[in-house]
Amino acid sequence: MARSPQAARRRAQSAAAARTLEDTLQPSVEIQRQMLQIRPVPIAPAISQAGAILAGRAQPRRDPRDLKPWRDNAEAYLQSGNLQGLAQAMVDGQLATLTCFSSGWTSLIHALWQIPALQRVHLVNVTVSPAAAVEFGRALQAGRTLKKLGLTSCHHQAGAFNAMMMALMSYGGLESLKIAFGEHDSVDPQTMRAAALSLVARNPGLQTLTLAGGWIDEPSFLPDLVAVLSKLPRFRELEIASCPCHLFGSLMTSLLQSRDPWRLPQLTLKRAGGDQNKYSFDAIANQLVLCPINRLRIKAVTLSNDGMKGLINTMLTQWRCRTQVEFDLVNQLADLESMRGFLKLANESVAKRIGLLSSNQPSQQL
């Protein structure tokens, strides 16, 4: 099926925006002069101990509820700027993750310089200046330990968004990224989308990507994103949260028409908005399992009973369905418990189908 002139025009506009962004993502001389005066200081004993205990050593998986007291203490020290207390709390709780709110932003940059155990950071409602963005990038480059970054509802001053994106692209060492740009940010959504595509492409070791919010509301964005993800050798999960339902139409069309043999390892859907009458999530789920996706995980989205039955029937009867489906425990489908057995049978049928296709056995043996 030929692509419409409108779709081609949108793709050209998106590509042009990405090129423009790449050309402008250079901190100005004025930004360099305004940089925050953050420099390395002698490492305190607890900070050194944090690096010795945590850096480069796998930690056993622990219940997040057990970590909460230590994390609360660490984040309180971060907010107050007490790096010695922060490092000690990270040692005591064997933490490698911090959530940073606006008042702890400067302390976080200090911490990145000095605490090698800091591997995962989530920025929430942080106001970013151009100077702070540059220093954040310098701190990332100095330690090169950060693997996971979340950006939720951050606010960018004039010039700060470009500086922040430049810093993250130059770093390029992220394995997990969450982007939930603030809807009230002054940055144009098209610029956000172009930056997100460039940022993903500049982190070749990326394994998981979470996108949330209305800024992704552009029909060509998800297909363009999948094209970028297909080039990442270690990528394994795309999560989309609070996405308008109508965007899945362009995504599914792109996936079904693609001649690329690459399959999306996992697509996770968490909440979906929009006109549920016009864009039924029942229909979306039934179409997604026919797309080149290995696993579809549905979180906090409700299918109707008929929609669930239709999904299971598609998985059992459609030979081209090679997608296994998982529902999380918060799904509110009334009959989900009674249908779990049927869903398990459907997933087993899909697994058998995949095995037969892999061994090139004829379909009659299914």
Indicate if the pLDDT at residue 2 is higher than 70.
no
Assigned domain for 144 exists: yes
Assigned domain for 78 exists: yes
* Listed residues 178, 207, 236: the one ending a domain: 207
Cα gap 208→268, rounded to integer Å: 10
Assigned domain for 16 exists: no
Indicate if the pLDDT at residue 54 is higher than 50.
no
- One domain for residues 145 and 249: no
Indicate if the pLDDT at residue 140 is higher than 50.
yes
- One domain for residues 294 and 188: no
The burial of 87, by beta-carbon neighbours within 10 Å (0-12 exposed, 13-18 middle, 19 or more buried), is given as buried
* Listed residues 170, 186, 207: the one ending a domain: 207
Assigned domain for 48 exists: no
The answer to whether 285 and 313 are in contact (CB under 8 A) is: no
Indicate if the pLDDT at residue 57 is higher than 70.
no
| Closest alpha carbon to 41 in 139, 132, 137 | 139
- One domain for residues 171 and 90: yes
- One domain for residues 123 and 231: no
pLDDT band at 333 (very low <50, low <70, confident <90, very high): low
Assigned domain for 51 exists: no
pLDDT for the residue numbered 191? 92
Cα gap 11→252, rounded to integer Å: 16
Task: Supply the DSSP string of 236-301, one letter for each residue.
Answer: -EEEEEEEETTHHHHHHHHHHH------EEEEEEEEEES-TTTS-HHHHHHHHTTSSEEEEEEES-
Mean pLDDT of the region 264-284:
74
Mean pLDDT of the region 163-187:
90
Cα gap 237→233, rounded to integer Å: 12
Residue 172 domain boundaries = 66-207
Cα gap 330→162, rounded to integer Å: 38
Assigned domain for 254 exists: yes
Residue type for position 39? R
Lowest mean pLDDT among 85-89, 268-272, 345-349: 268-272
Assigned domain for 93 exists: yes
Helices (H), the chain: 5-24, 29-33, 45-54, 64-80, 83-93, 105-114, 130-143, 160-171, 189-201, 221-229, 247-257, 281-288, 305-317, 336-358
Cα gap 302→140, rounded to integer Å: 40
- One domain for residues 193 and 275: no
The answer to whether 35 and 77 are in contact (CB under 8 A) is: no
- One domain for residues 310 and 334: yes
123's torsion region: left (phi>0), alpha (psi -120 to 50) or beta? Answer: beta
pLDDT band at 143 (very low <50, low <70, confident <90, very high): confident
Indicate if the pLDDT at residue 311 is higher than 90.
yes
Record the pTM: 0.81
CA 48 centroid distance within chain: 31
- One domain for residues 231 and 268: yes
Cα gap 178→278, rounded to integer Å: 29
The answer to whether 139 and 172 are in contact (CB under 8 A) is: no
- One domain for residues 203 and 224: no
Lowest mean pLDDT among 124-138, 171-185, 189-203, 229-243: 171-185
- One domain for residues 106 and 128: yes
* Two tokens, residue 304: 């109707």
CATH of the domain at 321: 3.80.10.10
pLDDT for the residue numbered 146? 92
pLDDT for the residue numbered 192? 92
Lowest mean pLDDT among 66-80, 113-127, 289-303, 322-336: 322-336
* Listed residues 207, 232, 256: the one ending a domain: 207
- One domain for residues 238 and 146: no
pLDDT for the residue numbered 42? 44
- One domain for residues 227 and 343: yes
pLDDT for the residue numbered 28? 46
Indicate if the pLDDT at residue 120 is higher than 50.
yes
Cα gap 126→164, rounded to integer Å: 12
Domain count, the chain: 2
Lowest mean pLDDT among 67-71, 120-124, 324-328, 341-345: 67-71
- One domain for residues 131 and 252: no
Assigned domain for 260 exists: yes
* Two tokens, residue 1: 């099926």
* Two tokens, residue 52: 């010795």
pLDDT band at 38 (very low <50, low <70, confident <90, very high): very low
Share of the chain above pLDDT 70, in %: 75
